[in-house]
Structure 1
Amino acid sequence: MPRSTIARIDLQALRHNYALAQKLAGSARAMAVVKADGYGHGIRPVALALAEMAPKYAVACLEEALAIRDAGLRQPVVLLQGMHEAGDVRDCSAHDFEPVLHCSTQLNWLAQSESRPEFWLKVNSGMNRLGFRPAELPEVMAAIDAMGARSRLLGFVTHFACADDPASARTAEQTECFVRGTAAWPDLMRSVGNSAAHFLPDQPLFDWSRPGIMLYGGSPSLGKIGPELGLQPVMTLEAPLLSTRIVKAGEAVGYGSAWVAERETLMGMVAIGYGDGYPRHAGTDTPAAVRGQRIRLIGRVSMDMLAVDLTNAPDARPGDAVELWGRTVGVDEVAACANTISYELMTGITARVPREYR
């Protein structure tokens, strides 16, 4: 029998979160961001679960877009990184993919291709990763007109650097830069809204928003956890309790003897570790739960196991399911203890952990 370490995926919670994203987007339409294998939840089941709600999907690259087509879905798919080689232009055209072009090389590939997919332009409004600077747009638009591709251009995209921080002025500055840079082409659509932007008061989201982490129940906002924003957890990560024992005062547990009992403690071992994608840097006091009671990790996380303090759950027995994150323990809480973000935790769960969908 396989061990019972598992990631349970609640597709109804996913749909709830998408509905909230669309509500917060107002008059904008929400394209569902399902890149990175649906943020670790499985791109095919995630996309299928949203098929009757989402008018458009967004992914990072061509292979992710093809996975959506392999699932039998026909909605347009936005490729946020655009094309990675010249031949991708033909594939985008054949499959109704909408690449986001961000550099002159991609423009040249488009010009040299006989097929012309609908596409977007990436505007660098201050993130300084990808995109054309606003001052470059007149020249870019002239090149698009010269190749006869203007009718295939859908609009402009930008990405916010600090939307997770409501106190930051950067989002307003980027919005102003984007609006000013694209003002000469009011007939084209605009998209700016990542998950965090949905929760900023008075933030315009224009024509299309792009909810990502919020679809999966993770918080995109500093100082907030998902449930505080009305989001429901989609993934519950569980592993079985392997054993329990009494650790005497003065005894240490695990590698490096990183935790030493100050008093006699009921300790349990759980069948999950960094080999499954659980964060190695989640140390003592990181929350977990068993039988509905919150407990804590103690000592170092090993490749295949971790230790927990069962003082708050004295009735726990080997075989009980331990929740590492889910409805009792939020993934954002665990991320904070591991000095990371929920995005990394969800996408980091390895193939060794099966996904179960309901």
Structure 2
Amino acid sequence: MSRRPVAQINLAALRHNLQRVQHLAPASKILAVLKANAYGHGLVQVAQALTGADAFAVARIDEALALRTAGIVKPIVLLEGFYEAAELPILLANNLQTIVHNELQLQALEQTELEGQLKVWLKIDTGMHRLGIAPQQFNEFYRRLWQCPTVQPGIRLMSHFCCADMPGSAKTGQQLAQFQQLCADKAEQRSLANSAAIICLPQSHGDWVRPGLMLHGISPLPDQQGQHHQLQPVMRLSSRLIAMRKIQPGDTVGYGANWQTEKATWVGVIAIGYGDGYPRHAVNGTPVWLAGREVQLIGRVSMDMITVNLGPEPMESIGAEAVLWGPELAIERVAHCADTIPYELLCNITPRVDYQYLTV
């Protein structure tokens, strides 16, 4: 019996979720966002499975080069762009596309001699105030990029919503209106919609949509689950019950003795902890799916183990499978109990977990 936690990645569910994006945004091309190891699912394996995507987006150049090394030939866009001019020949040699979001990047493109031209996306800050040029800089950047000999004709225009996961937000409407106004007389392709906007804001879809979280079967909207959008969870994180013990009224469990039983009950120990990426701040009562029923976390999460309340007459035995999240238990529920978001849970999975890829 292996005591190593397992993350099963269902590639059929991944492809199903891509089809849902295509259904929701039928007139748009799909720039599948695979940053942070494809949200913890495996960068190369996910890219290889998403044959229906039109292009891939990653945050940094090392992620893009890993895809190229694995034989991925689809267009790849660097969401953070390049960091220094010395990277530009690498981008050109590997057919990588870059976002431009500041003056230094534009100057590097203007001042570097290349034996070819790069595909460029111009990012406009319409209110996120993270990356992107100010709206008043748009006309100048647009003109200079068109005149730059190292830039392919036909730049692409993009921005990013900060409140798309809050349906009806006035901020989202303001961002959309400003972006549309800036680009009104431009013929270039546009991209604005992330996962939440793909679901809630069809008027923002444009030429390219950028799904990330929803590809992995998770709702980008608070208080909702992937099933509400006909998405299927891609990751199933599981482990095993490795110990059981009966405790008496007044006994406490775990570090800090922060859980105490009022009646005799059985405690189960499951081989997973924050050393594997399970959230340390999950509270008492966090659900765990154990051998066909839901039990509750009790006591603090340890580095290698968690403890659950099995009740006065447990049905399980040592070796029983425990699902921490997956089709049986929505990750959104676990994230809520840990006062975090599903993104963080997925990205925090550590190398101690065994990844298994299912194709059917």
Task: Give yes or no for TM over 0.5.
Answer: yes
Residues 62-88 of structure 1: CA distance to partner in whole angstroms, max 9, x if unpaired?
A: 111111111211100011100012122
- Structure 1, unpaired ranges of 5+: none
- Structure 2, unpaired ranges of 5+: none
The reply to whether residue 267 of structure 1 matches residue 267 of structure 2 is yes
The reply to whether residue 10 of structure 1 matches residue 10 of structure 2 is yes
CA deviation after TM superposition for structure 1 residue 149, in Å: 5.0
Q: In the superposition, relative to structure 1, how do residues 355 and 313 fare at CA in structure 2: closer, same or farther (>3 Å)?
A: farther
Q: What CA distance in whole angstroms lies between the structure 2 residues aligned with 1:42 and 1:145?
A: 37
CA deviation after TM superposition for structure 1 residue 313, in Å: 8.0
Q: In the superposition, relative to structure 1, how do residues 4 and 352 fare at CA in structure 2: closer, same or farther (>3 Å)?
A: closer
Code of the residue aligned with 1:111 in structure 2: it is E
Residues 205-246 of structure 1: CA distance to partner in whole angstroms, max 9, x if unpaired?
A: 100000000011121012211111111111111111111111
Tell me the equivalent position of 1:63. Answer: 62
The answer on whether the counterparts of 1:135 and 1:181 sit within 8 Å (CA) in structure 2 is no
Q: What CA distance in whole angstroms lies between the structure 1 residues aligned with 2:27 and 2:202?
A: 13
The reply to whether residue 253 of structure 1 matches residue 253 of structure 2 is yes
Secondary structure of 2:324's counterpart equals: strand
The answer on whether the counterparts of 2:25 and 2:202 sit within 8 Å (CA) in structure 1 is no
The answer on whether the counterparts of 2:118 and 2:150 sit within 8 Å (CA) in structure 1 is no
Tell me the equivalent position of 2:140. Answer: 139
Secondary structure of 2:203's counterpart equals: coil
Tell me the equivalent position of 1:154. Answer: 155
Tell me the equivalent position of 1:299. Answer: 299
The reply to whether residue 183 of structure 1 matches residue 184 of structure 2 is yes
Q: In the superposition, relative to structure 1, how do residues 255 and 40 fare at CA in structure 2: closer, same or farther (>3 Å)?
A: same
Code of the residue aligned with 2:67 in structure 1: it is I
Q: What do you get for the CA RMSD once the two structures are aligned?
A: 1.5
Alignment TM-score, normalising by the size of structure 1: 0.96
Moved over 6 A (4+): none
Residues 119-177 of structure 1: CA distance to partner in whole angstroms, max 9, x if unpaired?
A: 10000011010101121111112322443356444311111000001131211110101
Secondary structure of 2:54's counterpart equals: coil
Q: In the superposition, relative to structure 1, how do residues 238 and 313 fare at CA in structure 2: closer, same or farther (>3 Å)?
A: farther
Q: What CA distance in whole angstroms lies between the structure 2 residues aligned with 1:312 and 1:66?
A: 54
Tell me the equivalent position of 2:124. Answer: 123
CA deviation after TM superposition for structure 1 residue 198, in Å: 1.1
Residues matched between the structures, number? 356
Code of the residue aligned with 2:270 in structure 1: it is V
CA deviation after TM superposition for structure 1 residue 114, in Å: 2.1
Tell me the equivalent position of 2:87. Answer: 88
Q: What CA distance in whole angstroms lies between the structure 2 residues aligned with 1:194 and 1:288?
A: 30
Q: In the superposition, relative to structure 1, how do residues 201 and 140 fare at CA in structure 2: closer, same or farther (>3 Å)?
A: closer
Tell me the equivalent position of 2:42. Answer: 42
Q: In the superposition, relative to structure 1, how do residues 68 and 312 fare at CA in structure 2: closer, same or farther (>3 Å)?
A: farther
